[in-house]
Amino acid sequence: MSKVAVMMSENSLEGQMSSHFGKAEWVLVANTDSDAHVFFKNDGAQGKSVVELVASQECTDAIFSEIGNGALGHLKAANIGGWVAPRHITGLQALKMYQNQQLPPATATDAHAGKGCCRTSRTGSEAHSCCHS
């Protein structure tokens, strides 16, 4: 059995993926063998807590559009593969791309620099500042 986590902005397969790993409001956990899925609310709102949630659900892989270097390191330490999806696609589209091996693996060059996400262009739940002075 293989489980994959998708970082989501809402709790719907047809909902848009979150633009950032640690700030995802929801984590979709999908069983790629049975097409069963469940959503988990991301209360931690930071990379390490999302990795802990994904690992607790026994996911082997995670799909996201952006990730910080720290969170990527936590994923690798937990032996969870990271896959980069295009921005502005749905969770269902991301899962299909993953299953069709159309997503590139995440590398340190895909992660943005700094601690967490310090962009001011975020909206909604992703607008909370996480910059560290």
What is the per-residue pLDDT across 67-99, written as a single tens digit (0 to 9) for each? 989 999 999 999 999 999 999 999 999 999 999
Q: How many CA atoms lie within 13 A of 54 on its CB side?
A: 36
Please give the backbone phi and psi of residue 70, each rounded to the nearest 5 degrees, phi first: -65, -50
- Give residue 109's pLDDT: 55
- Give residue 125's pLDDT: 41
Structure tokens at 49: 């807590």
Mean predicted lDDT score pLDDT of the chain: 83
Q: How many CA atoms lie within 13 A of 56 on its CB side?
A: 8
Q: Which fold has domain 3-108?
A: Nucleotidyltransferase; domain 5 (3.30.420)
**Higher pLDDT, residue 42 or 122:** 42
Closest CA to 83 of 101, 56, 58: 101
* Least-confidence region, from 69-73, 91-95, 111-115, 120-124: 120-124
Global pTM value? 0.81
Share of the chain above pLDDT 90, in %: 65
Q: What is the rounded distance in angstroms from the CA atom of residue 133 to the CA atom of residue 71?
A: 19
User: Which of helix, strand or coil describes residue 92?
Assistant: helix
Closest CA to 95 of 67, 65, 63, 59: 63
Answer yes or no: are the C-beta atoms of 116 and 68 closer than 8 Å: yes
Answer yes or no: are the C-beta atoms of 24 and 42 closer than 8 Å: yes
Name every residue whose Cβ is closer than 8 Å to that of residue 14 and which is 6 or more positions away in sequence. 90, 91, 92
